[in-house]
Structure 1
Amino acid sequence: MKVICGYNVNIDAVYTITGEDISDLLKMVDKDELLEKICDAPGEIRSIADLVAGLVLHMQKGTGAEWFIYSDDVFHFLKSRYYEKSEIRLGGNMGIMANVMSRMGADQVVMNAVGDIDTIKSLMSGGNIILAGASLASTSSTSVDASEVIHFVFDFSSGTRFDVFGNDVIVPRENRFIATYDDINTELSITPEFEEYSREHVTEMDGAIISGFNQLQQCYHDGSGYIERFEKAHAQLKDWKARDPELPIHVELGHFMSMGMGVYIFTELAGTVDSIGMNEDELVMLTELHGVPSDMILKMDACAIMDACVRCISTTGLKKIVLHTRDFIMSIFRKGFSTSPREVPSMQFGVMCAAAFAAFGKLPGRSQLEGSVRDLARSEKGVDQARKLQDLIGGEMLEGGICGDYGGFSVCILPTIICERPVSTVGLGDTVSSATFLRWLELH
């Protein structure tokens, strides 16, 4: 398989944060200021108090999030305190997905290579990647060193305990909080080399998988907004479709800075691309489109999630949504675009890749994949939700998944394979999505 892959790549500094780490950080901030920020989350990092508020807020809920750093002082504090103690990986949705597909058997992955290519190359785990690009420097005036594109990924584990000014906190589930310092991917930079190569070779490709729209900012230092940057990338996708109408394009949505951005970009993309992948938090951002209560979605209620996805597809020209959660993966698609015998094996492959990555922090060779997850169990909650969904849609069992119809669409759900003590949670969504897409292309 030959796949085009865009747009965002960066360096991930992955650090497992402990209760003791949080206690040390709490000593550095004012109590009243922190409590105010926890109650009214800033959603961005301009001070140490913002950073600690984000960590505490999401650790106590067990939820994942990404907040951007808009302070050079905070960036240098994080780099000096955590970088040397972190595991350094290739990051960014595109970077992770390109690595996965190359490792798991893609013949060629054409990658929009922004940033420091030498560092990117050193962190690649597979071959067959064409780096279509050159090092880019940001023109932003806010960064001391614009060549630094580091995302600090704070993994936290279920059961981690710490005290917040007399209140005992126990983390309910594993997840991660990301503090992002990045002036390149926020511009949704596309290299001239990537533009030229993809334009010339798009008809030779089997598919395209795109991400990075969630890195866009509401407002930039020059006073402009995100729409013009989005439209440049959107125009490229439209051009690919014009040159090859049969090219399958999948987009990973990501978590946006505002619901308005999420709804706008989803709606615009839905008329161009074939499928969009997301998790439950990202589906909540589309409440304006589907109207399903957020609490039901965040509880990972499969029936509510299916209903919300069907409504999102129904109001757009989109052909498929792939919804991935900790406990199950679900595909909702228009009849004629795909089939259940193609969807379930694809999702199964994606689930196995994500489980192996969670368990070992890297992917095994493809021939060792099934054996590497043999001792891991299916999510009990995922199995339960699949049964509840079957009660609603009927359908049949297919290779461990449930397949049926709802609202005129085909629906497949498959419980995930759970690693109770993951090495890392970052990149699991990108891993399951890219592996699922690769296998889906192979089964065409």
Structure 2
Amino acid sequence: APAMGPSLAALLRPEVRLPLSGSLAKPGRVAQAKKDDRPEPVHFVFQFKRGEEIRYGRDKFIVPQDNRFIASYDPVNTALASSRDFDSYCLEHISAFSGAMISGFHLLPLQNYEEILPEKINQLRSWKKRNPNLFIHLELGSFQSPQIMSHLMHLVSEVPIDSLGMNEDELDAAAGLFNLSIKANLPASWQERVLAAELLQDKTGIFRVSVHTRDYILSVIRDGHFPAQDEILALQSGVDSAASLAACGSMRAAPSEEFNEKGLAAAADLRRLGATSQGTGAALQSGGRILSLVPARQVSQPKITVGLGDTATASIFFCELEAIRRNAALS
């Protein structure tokens, strides 16, 4: 973590550990050891509420839906730099890891992404070579240019990436790169998003593709690592964690009891197609694939709006690793 400064270290939970000199250390100790004169990364989050009016000169803009814009000064992470401590620790201990969740490729600048991407892809390849059972999830993001996303997506098939995650906008962008766009005008239906995810899965050969939206989380997986009920439980964990963080500022708080109406309707539609029910979610097994969908919880007055998709993804990933370990022990 070359960008680990005192401010970031203070935000991390006490249980978090980072590689330092061949062992794992608390964030504060890492920040102190790597102290330098570089300014810490800064991220400005501009939140917009539906219906808000923004004036620019004589022009007036009305926000169509809740959204945000993030502006960053972060030269270290945009270069995907990693410390020697991190690289060496991972390579030495990767055989003991169950999984790796990868993100940040969307931060790459247009100027030198072609130099940086192969280096990082080779790093993932080296991990997978040492530990073929390592479950790797790659989370997309809002890329600065379609060229960068296109370059990454074509490299993905060269590394045994197991899982690919994104939001609905990123699904649209990724599908468009492969000429898989189902509908030009938003919002797309859940059926169209499922079809785009399945086509993306076929194009990349990835075991799992997941999409988190404001209304629901869905995933398409191939028969293999874990059964449908484990995937539904994982998605539900993601929904609950994101809702708890949004409502109370902590994932440990009880989630909201209210569910998104569009998400509930999508799950009901899936059940009418023959899907089995589990809680508020539904799973349909067909043609060697398992389609799972869980409605999002509704939070009317959120305390936190940034990082909810990432929170859901991390919770889902942890539950899936537990399921993989559990099923491996039974086989």
How far residue 136 of structure 1 moved from its aligned partner, in angstroms, is 8.6
Please state if 1:307 is matched with 2:188: no
How far residue 276 of structure 1 moved from its aligned partner, in angstroms, is 0.9
Cα gap change, 1:164/1:419 in structure 2, threshold over 3 Å: closer, same or farther? same
Cα gap change, 1:434/1:290 in structure 2, threshold over 3 Å: closer, same or farther? farther
Contact 1:290/1:308 (<8 A) preserved? no
How far residue 159 of structure 1 moved from its aligned partner, in angstroms, is 3.7
Contact 1:156/1:175 (<8 A) preserved? yes
TM-score under structure 2 length normalisation? 0.86
Cα distance in 1 for residues equivalent to 2:82 and 2:301: 37
The match for 2:163 is 275
The match for 1:120 is 8
How far residue 300 of structure 1 moved from its aligned partner, in angstroms, is 4.3
How far residue 182 of structure 1 moved from its aligned partner, in angstroms, is 1.6
How far residue 388 of structure 1 moved from its aligned partner, in angstroms, is 3.1
**1:280-359 correspondence to structure 2 within 5 Å:** 280-286=168-174, 287-295=176-184, 298-359=186-247
Which of 305, 321, 326 pairs up with 1:441? Answer: 321
Contact 2:5/2:35 (<8 A) preserved? no
- Is 308-317 or 261-270 further displaced after alignment? 261-270
How far residue 317 of structure 1 moved from its aligned partner, in angstroms, is 2.1
In structure 2, what residue type is equivalent to 1:289?
A: F
Cα distance in 1 for residues equivalent to 2:183 and 2:225: 29
Contact 2:142/2:170 (<8 A) preserved? yes
Contact 2:182/2:196 (<8 A) preserved? no
Cα gap change, 1:387/1:260 in structure 2, threshold over 3 Å: closer, same or farther? farther
> Any unmatched runs of 5+ in structure 2?
21-29, 325-331
- The C-alpha deviation readout for 1:299-341, integer Å capped at 9, x for no partner, is 1411000100101111122110111001100010111133211
**DSSP-derived class of the 1:190 partner:** coil
Cα distance in 2 for residues equivalent to 1:205 and 1:239: 13
**DSSP-derived class of the 1:418 partner:** coil
How far residue 421 of structure 1 moved from its aligned partner, in angstroms, is 2.1
How far residue 402 of structure 1 moved from its aligned partner, in angstroms, is 1.3
How far residue 126 of structure 1 moved from its aligned partner, in angstroms, is 4.1
Cα distance in 2 for residues equivalent to 1:155 and 1:183: 23
> Any unmatched runs of 5+ in structure 1?
1-112, 138-144, 220-224
Which of 251, 255, 260 pairs up with 1:379? Answer: 260
Contact 2:284/2:290 (<8 A) preserved? yes
TM-score under structure 1 length normalisation? 0.65
Cα gap change, 1:406/1:151 in structure 2, threshold over 3 Å: closer, same or farther? farther
The match for 2:329 is none
Number of residues paired by the alignment? 311
In structure 1, what residue type is equivalent to 2:181?
A: V
Cα distance in 2 for residues equivalent to 1:325 and 1:300: 11
Cα distance in 2 for residues equivalent to 1:167 and 1:390: 47
Cα distance in 1 for residues equivalent to 2:211 and 2:110: 25
Cα gap change, 1:416/1:188 in structure 2, threshold over 3 Å: closer, same or farther? same
Which of 394, 418, 433 pairs up with 2:274? Answer: 394
User: RMSD of the TM alignment (CA)?
Assistant: 2.2
**1:96-115 correspondence to structure 2 within 5 Å:** 113-115=1-3
Cα distance in 1 for residues equivalent to 2:16 and 2:35: 23
In structure 2, what residue type is equivalent to 1:402?
A: A
Contact 1:327/1:382 (<8 A) preserved? yes
The match for 1:30 is none
**Higher RCO (C-alpha 8 Å, min separation 6):** 1
